[in-house]
């Protein structure tokens, strides 16, 4: 990935360009210190003067009203301009000054709209940070840096618009809007901090300072990356709207960096200091205002995506190169418009340009399926087995099949489309999961075919969710969502279950990144410095003890600090180290083969494979799968192979039960699904067994309730209760039991007879 820089022959501004800002479309506005505001059209390359500022007024910062605020399209026609005389001005698109407000003593250095467009923050030379309403009424003065008298050079909103990030000297400060909350403050740099930016997508902060370094922080102030010192102070930093990368500007320097900090490309244009950087909405172009009056445009090209044997490279803005490594063939795909986003996987390449969406099958590069897009700013494309999802930062989500048919456009009330990104969306061929954009503890589950939410209310987790991922195979009702929360715990949940939260299981802690396998339901993750693969994560619903046995791990020291899993295809897993390099690691191919056998129910082959490989993890996953399929013979063999004697015993006991309902109930019990077991028994008319189940579990009240309800074995329950109390030397404390024990006499011989009779009956059935 790199920048393709274009810069005019002659500077269009006479003075320094102190601020630039993109409109929703392809237009860029730039303000120069000579007082003129210019409009640049990137499609035609035209430049037009919009207006002139009065003499003695110099611009310092500008911000366009956010466009994605629902229903207020007209409001996006205006921007706010901070000037060095301490005022800010609301200016319409055609250059009319709607309103001017006295804001600061000294210059207004930084100005930003909140993400929802409700409020405005300004930072001034007087060291104050002020919050304003949309119409320019002062709401509060958030901070006053009195002690040093230092100006606040940069300010940014937090992802939820509830926090303000600003720089004061060498300090970086995060201040929540609520007045009582304490600010988080840390020393960021050795020099004056010139610019800060906070990405709403990945929640990371980037800062640039006069100590000539840029640094990446997380929202707790932990340093994730620090650059080497440059030759000149860093004057500007800016996150791309999709959160994948950021741009850094300094004197005659423009860098493109990955979100983890390492640098994709470095350009040395002859521009003077780049004072301001702004990304276009589709994250393909960045514009910079330069010290010598130029406005620099830099397009992101040379992005590369890989899938199996295919490599797709964005050669130029409109040209894609598809390379087949196996056949050594190359295809060049040319487009009418700028390529915004592309995604490769599941035998398809999906490309969105600024007006169209093109679907290529990997077997045929000549005839794509083309349809026009509603939205113009695709921020992500997610592929699943039979369909794909286009995320538009203005229009929201739309799900299409690979035939180009729109399946649905899921949405929930209060959706904030600009915050949607790869981390908070999970899609499979039947289910879609979205993390709520306001409260990331909540997540919405959609059925894709109908486009409706499965539950009335979103599901709530105790902590904020960080990443979500859905498995792609298996029965729809058993669809599993894997997610990590703020504590880095990995959970699995069967989201299409009637009571999903009962199926929430924790797989492990300290998980930073996870990825499902492409052809089976294997799950890979990085857990506490180890690369871990669960061969069959659903074992957690079958036999919790099997879960640790069915996972394998290897040391992840070779992947460095904080790697990310990029892909998990076949028996290769690719990870990206924090320095940007890709590392592949091999995973055993046997679990894939085993799962294939199991899906074809060829159990004998599966057993033979396991015997051949002699791997405990493989046996454990086979045991879990066989138990899930109620294939008792195989389960018995598998359990025996991993030395689970008591389970083998129990399975052979189950095998001896002749009654089918009873056997199923015992299987459920084996999987520790007591409720299910009881239900199965009652449905099969085996009341005595149900009562006995509850007695064995010491659930006396339930046993009595069942006995009373079915009017049998009340005395049995009472007898066992008495025996239990006697053994433990306790007194009866339950009123219900004392009441019944008065009414009914307990006689062990009759009870024994009754029990024998029941067992006889059962055998007779």
Partner 1 sequence: MSFKDLRYFTEMMRALGYPRQISMENFRQPNFPLVAEILMWLVKRYEPNASLPHDIDTEDDRVIFIKYVSQFMATKTRIKLNPKKLYMADGYSVQEMLKVVTMLYNAVKSNKADHANEDVTERSFDVSNKISELKQARQLATEITMSGAKLYELLAVEVDLRELRLAAVARPLEMAQIEQGMKNKVVSIENEIKGTQNKLDNIANDEANLEAKIEKKKAELERNNKRLKSLQNVRPAFMDEFEKLEGDLKKLYEVYMEKFRNLTYLEQIVDAYDRQQQVKVEETEKQLRRMQEQLREEEKKLFNQTDTFENFADDSDGEVKDVKSRNPRIVGAMEASDSESEEGSDYISSGSELAGEGEMPISDDEEEETDSENYDDKDDSDDIDF
Binding site for partner 1 (CB under 8 A): 9-10, 16, 18, 33, 58, 60, 84, 106-107, 109, 125, 149-151, 153, 169, 191-192, 194, 210, 212, 232-233, 251, 272-273, 275, 291-292
C-alpha 703/C-alpha 691 separation (Å) is 5
Is the Cβ of residue 119 or residue 273 nearer to partner 1 in the bound state?
273
- Mapped onto helix, strand or coil, the DSSP state of residue 219 is coil
CB nearer partner 1, residue 110 or residue 620: 110
CB of 298 to partner 1, least distance (A): 20
Residue 751: burial class (beta carbons within 10 Å; 0-12, 13-18, 19+):
middle
Structure tokens at 733: 């404390």
* Least distance between partner 1 and beta carbon 230 (Å): 11
| Burial class of residue 449 in the structure, from the number of CB atoms within 10 Å of its CB (0-12 exposed, 13-18 middle, 19+ buried) | middle
Rounded CA gap, 469 and 298, in Å? 34
586: nearest Cα among 601, 597, 571:
571
Which is nearest to 307 in space by CA: 289, 294, 326? Answer: 326
Q: How far is the CB of 212 from partner 1 (least distance, A)?
A: 8
Q: Which residues pair with 172 in a beta bridge?
A: 167, 186
The H-or-E segment that residue 661 falls in is: helix 660-670
**Closer of 233 and 563 to partner 1 (Cβ):** 233
> Closest CB to partner 1 among 273 and 472?
273
Q: How far is the CB of 429 from partner 1 (least distance, A)?
A: 55
Number of H helices, E strands in the chain: 14, 55
To partner 1, the closest distance from the beta carbon of 511 in angstroms equals 43
Residue with Cβ nearer partner 1 (167 or 177): 167
Q: Report the nearest approach of partner 1 to the CB of residue 210 (Å).
A: 5
Cβ-based nearer residue to partner 1, 229 or 529: 229
Residue 466's SS3 state is strand
Closest CA relative to residue 376, chosen from 78, 2, 68, 47: 68
We find the least distance from the C-beta atom of residue 101 to partner 1, in angstroms, to be 18
Rounded to a whole number of angstroms, the minimum distance from the CB of residue 291 to partner 1 is 5
Nearer to partner 1 by Cβ, of 9 and 475: the residue is 9
Q: Give whole-number Cα distances, 185 to 17, 165, 175, 202, 300, in Å.
A: 31, 10, 8, 20, 34
Report, in Å, the least distance between residue 53 CB and partner 1: 12
Q: Which residue number, 12 or 429, has a Cβ lying nearer to partner 1?
A: 12
Alpha carbons 3 and 587: distance in angstroms, whole number = 36
Nearer to partner 1, 250 or 635 (CB): 250
DSSP 668-699: HHHTT-HHHHHHHHHHTT-HHHHHHHHHHTT-
Paired strand residues for 408: 399
763: CB partners within 8 A, 6+ apart? 658
Minimum CB distance to partner 1, residue 272 (Å): 6
Tokens coding 628: 């899930």
- Residue 498: strand, helix, or coil: coil
Q: Which is nearer to partner 1, 293 or 482 (CB)?
A: 293
Smallest distance, Å, CB 58 to partner 1?
5
CB of 31 to partner 1, least distance (A): 12
Look at residue 151 and give its three-state secondary structure: coil
Compare residues 58 and 737 and give the one whose CB is closer to partner 1. Answer: 58
Please give the backbone phi and psi of residue 660, each rounded to the nearest 5 degrees, phi first.
-70, -45
**Of the two residues 233 and 345, which places its CB atom closer to partner 1 in the complex?**
233
Q: What are phi and psi of 605, to 5 degrees?
A: -60, -40
Judged by beta carbon, residue 117 or residue 151, the one nearer partner 1 is 151
Q: Is 118 left (phi over 0), alpha (psi -120 to 50) or beta?
A: alpha
What's the min distance (Å) between Cβ of 196 and partner 1? 15
Strands (E), 417-476: 425-427, 431-435, 442-447, 459-460, 465-470
Q: Within 10 A of 441 (CB to CB), how many other CB atoms are there?
A: 16
């Amino acid at each position: 990935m790199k920048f393709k820089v274009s810069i005019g022959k002659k500077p269009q501004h006479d003075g320094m360009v102190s601020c630039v800002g993109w409109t929703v479309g392809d237009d860029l506005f730039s303000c120069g210190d000579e007082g003129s505001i210019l409009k640049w059209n990137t499609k035609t390359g035209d430049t037009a003067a919009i207006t002139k500022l009065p003499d003695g007024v110099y611009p310092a910062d500008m911000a366009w009203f956010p466009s994605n605020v629902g229903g207020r399209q007209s409001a996006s026609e205006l921007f706010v301009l901070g000037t060095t005389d301490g005022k800010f001005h609301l200016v319409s698109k055609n250059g009319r000054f709607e309103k001017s407000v006295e804001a600061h003593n000294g210059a207004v250095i930084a100005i930003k709209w909140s993400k929802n467009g409700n409020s405005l923050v300004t930072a001034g030379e007087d060291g104050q940070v002020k919050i304003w309403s949309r119409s320019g009424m002062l709401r509060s003065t958030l901070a006053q840096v009195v002690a040093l008298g230092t100006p606040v050079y940069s300010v940014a909103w937090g992802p939820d618009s509830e926090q303000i990030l600003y720089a004061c000297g060498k300090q970086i400060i995060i201040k929540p809007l609520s007045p009582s909350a304490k600010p988080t403050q840390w020393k960021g740099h050795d020099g004056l901090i010139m610019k800060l930016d906070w990405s709403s997508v990945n929640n990371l902060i980037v800062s640039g300072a006069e100590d000539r370094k840029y640094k990446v922080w997380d929202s707790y102030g932990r340093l994730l990356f620090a650059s080497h010192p440059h030759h000149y102070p860093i004057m500007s930093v800016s996150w791309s709207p999709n959160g994948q990368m950021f741009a850094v500007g300094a004197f005659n320097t423009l860098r493109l960096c990955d979100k983890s900090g390492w640098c994709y490309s470095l350009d040395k244009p002859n521009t003077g200091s780049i004072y301001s950087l702004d990304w276009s909405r589709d994250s393909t172009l960045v514009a910079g205002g330069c010290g010598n009056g130029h406005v620099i445009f830099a397009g992101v090209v040379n992005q590369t995506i890989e899938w199996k044997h295919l490599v797709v490279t964005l050669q130029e803005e409109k040209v894609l190169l598809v390379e087949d490594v196996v056949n050594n063939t190359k295809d060049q795909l040319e487009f009418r418009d700028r390529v915004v986003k592309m995604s490769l996987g599941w035998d398809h390449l999906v490309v969105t340009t600024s007006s169209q969406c093109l679907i290529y099958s990997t077997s045929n590069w000549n005839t794509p399926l083309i349809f026009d897009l509603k939205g113009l700013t695709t921020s992500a494309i997610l592929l699943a087995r039979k369909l794909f999802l286009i995320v538009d930062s203005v229009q929201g989500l739309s799900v299409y099949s690979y035939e180009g048919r729109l399946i649905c456009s899921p949405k929930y009330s209060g959706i904030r489309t600009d915050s949607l990104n790869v981390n908070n969306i999970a899609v499979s061929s039947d289910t879609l999961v979205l993390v709520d954009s306001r409260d990331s503890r909540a997540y919405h589950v959609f059925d894709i075919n109908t486009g409706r939410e499965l539950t009335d209310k979103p599901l709530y987790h105790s902590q904020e969710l960080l990443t979500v991922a859905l498995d792609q195979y298996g029965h729809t009702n058993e669809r599993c969502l894997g997610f990590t929360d703020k504590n880095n715990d990995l959970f699995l949940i069967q989201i299409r279950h009637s009571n999903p939260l009962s199926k929430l299981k924790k797989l492990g802690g300290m998980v930073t990144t996870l990825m499902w396998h492409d052809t089976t339901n294997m799950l890979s993750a990085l857990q506490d410095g180890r690369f871990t693969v669960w061969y069959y994560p659903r074992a957690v619903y079958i036999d919790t003890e099997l879960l640790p046995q069915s996972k394998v791990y290897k040391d992840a020291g070779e992947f460095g600090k904080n790697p990310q899993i990029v892909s998990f295809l076949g028996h290769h897993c690719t990870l990206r180290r924090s320095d940007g390099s890709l590392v592949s690691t091999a995973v055993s191919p046997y679990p894939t083969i085993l799962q294939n056998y199991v899906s074809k129910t060829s159990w004998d082959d599966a057993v033979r494979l396991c015997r051949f490989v002699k791997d405990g993890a493989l046996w454990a996953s086979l045991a879990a799968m066989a138990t899930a399929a109620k294939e008792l013979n195989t389960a018995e063999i598998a359990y025996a192979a991993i030395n689970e004697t008591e389970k083998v015993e129990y399975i052979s006991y189950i095998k001896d039960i002749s009654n089918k309902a009873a056997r199923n109930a015992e299987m459920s019990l084996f999987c520790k699904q007591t409720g299910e077991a009881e239900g199965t028994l009652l449905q099969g008319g085996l009341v005595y067994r149900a009562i006995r189940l509850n007695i064995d579990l010491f659930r006396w009240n339930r046993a009595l309730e069942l006995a009373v309800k079915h009017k049998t074995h009340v005395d049995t329950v009472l007898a066992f209760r008495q025996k239990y109390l006697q053994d433990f030397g306790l007194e009866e404390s339950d009123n219900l039991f004392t009441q019944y024990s008065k009414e009914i006499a307990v006689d062990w011989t009759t009870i024994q007879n009754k029990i024998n009779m029941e067992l006889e009956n059962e055998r007779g059935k």
